[in-house]
Amino acid sequence: MPEQPAPCPNVDITVDGAGWSVPAGSSIAAAFVARGHPGWRLTRRRAEPRGLGCGMGVCFDCLVTVNGTRGVRACLTDVREGDVITTERGSGFADLAI
Amino acid sequence: MPTWPSEPRGTPGRGPRHSDVAVIGAGPAGMSAAVAAAQAGCSVTVLDLGERPGGQYWRWGPASDGRFHHGWPAFRALRDSFGGHQAAGRIVHLAGHAVFHVDPPPAGEGPGVSSRFTVRAVAGERERGYAAVEASAVVVATGAYERQLPVPGWTLPGVMAAGAAQALLKGSAVVAGHRVVVAGTGPFLMPVAAGLAQAGARVAAVVEANQPLSYLRQPLDLARSWRKLPEAAGYLARLARHRVPVLCRHAVVAAHGDGRLRSVTVARLDPAWALVPGSQRTLDADVLAVGYGFIPQVELLGEAGAQLRRGQDGRTFAAEAGADQQTSVPGLFAAGETTGIGGADLSCLEGQVAGRAAARHCGHQVRPAGPAIIRRRAALRRFGALLDAVHPVPPGWTTWLTGDTIVCRCEEVTLARLLAAVDLGADDARSAKLVARPGMGWCQGRICGAAVAAIVAGHRRSGRPEGGDLDFAESVVSRPLAQPVPLEVLAEAAQERANRDMAGTPDHL
Amino acid sequence: MSASHHRDVVVIGAGIVGAACCYYLARAGLKVAVIERGAVAAGTTGAGEGNILVSDKEPGPELELAQVSIRLWRQLGDELGPDAELEPKGGLVVAAGPEERQQLDEFAAAQAVAGVEVRTVGPSGLRDLEPHLADGLAGGVLYPEDMQVQPMMAAALMLRAARDLGAELRLHEEVTAIETAAGRVAGVRTSTGGLSAGLVVNAAGTWAGELAARAGLALPVLPRRGFIVVTEPLPRMIRHKVYTADYVANVASGSAGLEISAVVEATASGTVLIGASRERVGFDRTSSMKIVGTLAAQAIRLFPVLAGVRAIRFYRGFRPYCPDHLPVIGSDARLPGLLHACGHEGAGVGLAPATGHLIAQIATGQTAPVSLAPFDPGRFEEPARA
């Protein structure tokens, strides 16, 4: 008899300034994909979009900035209540360029 | 299902933890090793990259009820054992920890319980602290990742590893898209496609580059692996029920779209994997879930001095492990896919053997693995080798590429730029990496390394022998840092070392 | 041997120095073959940062050579094209405190007398040059002439230019012996055959001593190990090569133990390279987390913004050094026809064009632009009794 999954509360996060309500236990990458955004990062040389690649932390395509920490692997990281997520070009250090 | 209890990330200035055994990886092999070592009386610290144990095979989330999983009852039992040992304080589980280096015991110390490994990790993908674990025995169960072949358009969002689509489903209950093509080679494609179909995705096709019916040419091994047949038959039945066409000897040779995937080109392959002209067809798809087998993650083992052996295709490496799963470094054990791709059952078995052997290394009275276990492991390894043999990756795929195809995703190196470097004289894998920079980005060549080596080998002047093991291994497998490490974490690791030296403990490295 | 196996010069080694020798020899109209046992830049050049410096050299023969070399690099930059990534970024040497500042100023004054362009920088001026530099430094000296290049690319491009002029590049072939006839060099024997040549150039870098031994000659070139930490790719945050004033003392040190100082610079590809360590441990390839961690700590002290930046790899290289820290350039009196172009320690990239130019001058019987005496291969021998 398959057990009934417990109902999942949502968490509220901000992505590039927009408010998202995402099921708890979802990875940040899953949150993007579920909303129809297969890509959320631009490469640094060609400014081409990237998103979920390997899904397990090996390819570093899925990077986002989370609460100021740059280059976070979205596929490995669950959403947390109040997360402020910004999308990146390269690895997200553009504001430090001189 | 509750959130998983684990230790707080990276308490600054904490100093290294000490335990009998350190287990790196909490997938089937790692969990089994930890439980076995704890059962034998050891203190165990488990370091794992994920937020929850289970690895990739048992990737799960709060909504998981086993519907999309394999061996769910076995996992629940293992997880309960693991949790029991945690509650009793025998297992400490460090989730979200990225191990970047394993220091073997200092030279001059003989093998034994008093000579200690140091396992160093970045604590928390978000928090990025430093954590170190000292242990008398280390089990490396870091699993494997999927092999990708570069094709035109493969960097489009929507193109992902087959395992990535499966992780979305198992871990976050998210279906990757509406119309999915599953492609590549290997027995993994079927469960991925079947799972997606079951979850309501339209799976437009399964595109298998080889002809797995060559199973039938090896009846003896097949007969020994009879337990696996119902599983395979089950997938095929499910795919038939969802009317998913399965194409063999075909491959996705290009992906198309405008900032995201819209369609793929499927073509028939000849035995050398060149595409048969005129056989190309276009399939609409918003997800391409693709994988060409698995590559063991053995960097930590190689850097710690463990002997590695080349895989069948000469482009991947696995750890050499003895009957007790010990590598050539005393006290350092390897279990699961790190010793060679063989699936979850084999991983659990090897994990058990490794955990018990690690306990024995620490001085606990544990009987070595009995003949029944040895036989079963051998049978599972043979089956793994059989699957490997019917899913080769011949180099003909290099003819699918155009000059503009990105070969190295991290550094955005095109085929044309790579070939220009080879023409300049950078005609082995290591030299090509130094000149044109494929493999110099964050992933350090994990995704592109095998592909670059095949391209370089195919392009250089004929008659030149392929580079030796050191050349290739150095360019592809040697990674002194197995994970990116914040400079302040490296600094803290050195400072901790210096503090201990001043306090009189013997100098490590 | 048949005429098709004859060359005017055989250069052994296709690193940056061998490539430069080949290039200038080919330009001088000689028939050259470069023989390399690996691929291009397989040795220390592959571990190089690409430094082209005058800043770290005290007045003397090496500085003179560097000054000639920098002029040649500027010309090469145009000829080789943008793929070589030659960048005239300048070097900034910083002093931690007033005492170090004074030593640095004296050093720079002496360099200025020798013709090096120097500009002293007060503590407040440092941040104008490098906005992310730490507070509290005592000032420094800017060396506008310092440059950086991508060394593996530069070597490969020089070799291609040489091949366009008729030179031959033979990779994955090892020289097993230097052949002699009537007391002179006659050619080389290799793993796949051989070549006859009147001149042989030993540009085998850290293995130059080993190669000389195959000709029965002693040449004290030994490895000095260094680690470099490489960060994830970043937008431009650091403009110059920046290093601390204790760097020069470490280079000149005869100590076998660990010498470590802070050197930080960006690259065209976006990574930041962090050095520098020097040890005499033979060819030991094992990693040292302690050294790597110390390099990281030093870099953070110079540039606090780097604290959260991640290292994605580190690697080690073996600099070829001689006991007096000067390279070996010139004819070996013990074996006419044998020239050496090796032992450049950490300055191989910077000094390569001048070395190649000198070798070409010698090979064509012309006068060298600098005195070769300090670089004489025979300088290590015991003086002959009268």
Q: What tens digit of pLDDT does each residue of C174-196 get?
A: 999 999 999 999 999 999 999 99
Yes or no, beta carbons of A98 and C308 under 8 Å apart: no
Indicate the pLDDT class of residue C367, thresholds 50, 70 and 90: confident
Of B104-118, B479-493, C231-245, C268-282, give the lowest mean pLDDT range.
B104-118
- Say how far apart CA C314 and CA B156 lie, in whole Å: 31
Question: Cα distance from B126 to chain A (closest Cα, Å)?
Answer: 6
Contacts of C292 in chain B (CB under 8 A): 480, 490, 494
Q: Tell me: the pLDDT tens digits for C308-353?
A: 999 999 999 999 999 999 999 999 999 999 999 999 999 999 999 9
Q: What confidence category does residue B107 fall into, taking pLDDT thresholds of 50, 70 and 90? A: confident
Strands (E), B246-365: 246-248, 250-257, 261-268, 281-284, 287-292, 294-296, 308-310, 317-319, 332-334
Strand partners, C225: C279, C318
pLDDT confidence of residue A7: 61
For residues B270-296, average pLDDT: 97
**Residue C341 main-chain phi, psi, to 5 deg:** -145, 80
Contact check, Cβ <8 Å, A58/B446 = yes
Which carries the bigger pLDDT value, residue B79 or residue C384?
B79
The predicted model gives C215-224 an average pLDDT of 94
Mean pLDDT within B472-488: 83
Helix or strand or coil: residue C170?
A: strand
Q: What pLDDT does B237 receive?
A: 86
Q: What average pLDDT does the segment B378-405 reach?
A: 93
Facing A91 at nearest CB: one of C232, C236, C239: C232
Mean pLDDT of B80-105: 97
* Among B residues 93-122, those touching chain A with beta carbons less than 8 Å apart: 96, 98
* pLDDT value at residue B385: 87
Work out the mean pLDDT of chain A and round it to a whole number: 92
DSSP letter for B462, please.
Answer: T
Partner-chain contact C132 A96, CB within 8 Å: yes
Tokens 């969002």, located at residue: B157
- Which chains have at least 3 CB atom pairs separated by less than 8 Å from chain B? A, C
C258: pLDDT confidence band, cut at 50, 70 and 90?
confident
Is residue C361 helix, strand or coil?
helix
Pairwise CA distance, residues B236 & B194, whole Å: 8
Name the strand (E) or helix (H) holding C169. strand C168-170
Between C1 and B93, residue with greater pLDDT: B93
CA C259 to chain A, closest CA, distance in angstroms equals 32
Q: Which residue has the tokens 């901790």?
A: B496
Phi, psi of B279 (to 5 degrees): -95, 0
The model's pLDDT over B213-253, given as tens digits with 9 standing for 90+, comes to 655 555 555 555 555 666 777 888 889 899 999 999 999 99
CB contact, 8 Å: B435 with chain C? yes
Q: What is the DSSP letter of B467?
A: P
B155 contacts chain A (CB < 8 A): yes
Q: Please give the full DSSP string across B340-402, using - where no structure is assigned.
A: S---HHHHHHHHHHHHHHHHHHTT---PPPPHHHHHHHHHHHHHHHHHHHTS---GGGGGG--
A4: pLDDT strictly greater than 50: no
What does the mean pLDDT of chain B come to? 89
Global ipTM: 0.94
Can you give the pLDDT at residue C371?
87
The yes-or-no verdict on residue A3 having pLDDT over 50 is no
Looking at residue C283, the DSSP 8-state letter turns out to be B
Query: Which run of H or E residues covers position B311?
Result: none
C253 — pLDDT class (breaks 50, 70, 90)? confident
CB contact under 8 A, A52 and B164: yes
Please judge whether A96 and C308 are an interchain contact, meaning their C-beta atoms are less than 8 angstroms apart.
no
Q: How many angstroms separate the CA atoms of B450 and B456, rounded?
A: 10
| pLDDT single digits (tens) C50-84 | 999 999 999 999 999 999 999 999 999 999 999 99
Lowest mean pLDDT among B72-86, B305-319, C31-45, C314-328: B305-319
Which of B61, B163, B259 faces A56 most closely, judged by CB atoms? Answer: B163
Tell me the pLDDT tens digit for each residue of B318-344.
999 999 999 999 999 999 999 999 999
Q: Residue A37 phi/psi, 5° resolution? A: -115, 90
Q: Between residues C247 and B72, which one has the greater pLDDT?
A: B72
User: Per mean pLDDT, which of B103-112, B154-163, B241-250 is the most reliable?
Assistant: B154-163
Q: What is the pLDDT of residue B60?
A: 93
Per-residue pLDDT band for B10 (boundaries 50, 70, 90) equals low
Q: Residue B204: which H helix or E strand, with range?
A: strand B202-208
Residue C197 and residue C6 in contact, taking contact as beta carbons nearer than 8 Å = yes
Q: Are C14 and C40 in contact (CB under 8 A)?
A: yes
Q: pLDDT by residue (tens digit) across A32-67? A: 999 999 999 999 999 999 999 999 999 999 999 999
Which residue, A55, C313, A64, C94, is CA-closest to B442? Answer: C313
The identity of residue C222, as a single letter, is L
pLDDT digits (tens, 9 = 90+) for C78-136: 999 999 999 999 999 999 999 999 999 999 999 999 999 999 999 999 999 999 999 99
Is residue B289 pLDDT above 70, yes or no? Answer: yes
Spatial distance between the Cα atoms of B57 and C271, rounded to a whole number of angstroms: 35
Rounded to 10 degrees, the C-alpha dihedral B452/B457/B459/B460 comes to: 120
pLDDT over 60 (residue B203): yes
Q: Answer yes or no: is pLDDT of C163 > 90.
A: yes
pTM of the model: 0.94
pLDDT band at C287 (very low <50, low <70, confident <90, very high): confident
Name the more confident of C161 and B112. Answer: C161
A86 Cα distance to chain centroid: 8
Q: Is the pLDDT of residue C230 over 80?
A: yes
Rounded to an integer, the average pLDDT of C287-309 is 95
Tell me the C-alpha distance between C40 and C18, whole Å.
10
* Cα separation, B83 vs B38, whole angstroms: 11
CATH number of A10-90: 3.10.20.440
- Stretch C372-385: mean pLDDT, rounded? 83
Tokens of B498: 């210096």
Inform me whether the pLDDT recorded for B468 exceeds 70: no
Instruction: Answer positive or negative: Cα dihedral of B105, B106, B110, B115.
Output: negative
What span, in angstroms and rounded, lies between the C-alpha atoms of B74 and B81?
11
Mean pLDDT value across residues C7-32: 97
B12 band by pLDDT with thresholds 50, 70 and 90: low
* Contact flag C235-A93 (C-beta cutoff 8 Å): yes
Which of B325, B242, B254, B319 has the alpha carbon at shortest distance from B283?
Answer: B254
Give me the half-sphere count of Cα atoms (radius 13 Å) on the Cβ side of residue B271: 2
For residues B15-36, average pLDDT: 96
B-proximal residues of C, 80-119, CB under 8 Å: none
Sign of CA dihedral C378, C379, C381, C383: positive
Which phi and psi angles does B455 have, rounded to 5°? -65, -45
List residues in chain C touching A: CB distance below 8 A.
131-132, 232-237, 239, 270, 305, 308-310
- Reference B306, options B337, B338, B336; nearest CA is B338
- At residue B6, the pLDDT reads 62
Please state, for a pLDDT cut of 70, what percent of chain A lies above it: 92
What's the mean pLDDT when you consider all of chain C? 93
Residue B226 has what pLDDT? Answer: 56
Residue C161 has pLDDT above 90, yes or no: yes
The whole-angstrom separation of Cα B29 and Cα B104 is 21
Would you say residue C279 has pLDDT above 70? yes
- Tell me the average pLDDT across C352-367: 95
Q: What is the pLDDT averaged over residues B125-138?
A: 96
Contact assessment for residue B30 and residue B54, using Cβ atoms and an 8 Å cutoff: no
Q: What percent of chain B has pLDDT over 90?
A: 74
Confidence of residue C383 (pLDDT cuts 50, 70, 90): low
B161–chain A Cβ distance below 8 A for any pair = yes
Answer whether C130's CB lies under 8 Å from C301's CB: no
Residues on chain A bordering chain C, Cβ-to-Cβ distance under 8 angstroms: 44, 69-71, 90-91, 93-94, 96-98
How wide is the angle at C-alpha B444 spanned by C-alphas B441 and B447, nearest 5°?
100
Structure confidence at residue A1 (pLDDT): 39
B113 pLDDT tier (thresholds 50, 70, 90): low
Domains of chain B: 17-145+295-369 (3.50.50.60), 148-292 (3.50.50.60), 401-477 (1.10.10)
Radius of gyration of chain C (CA): 21
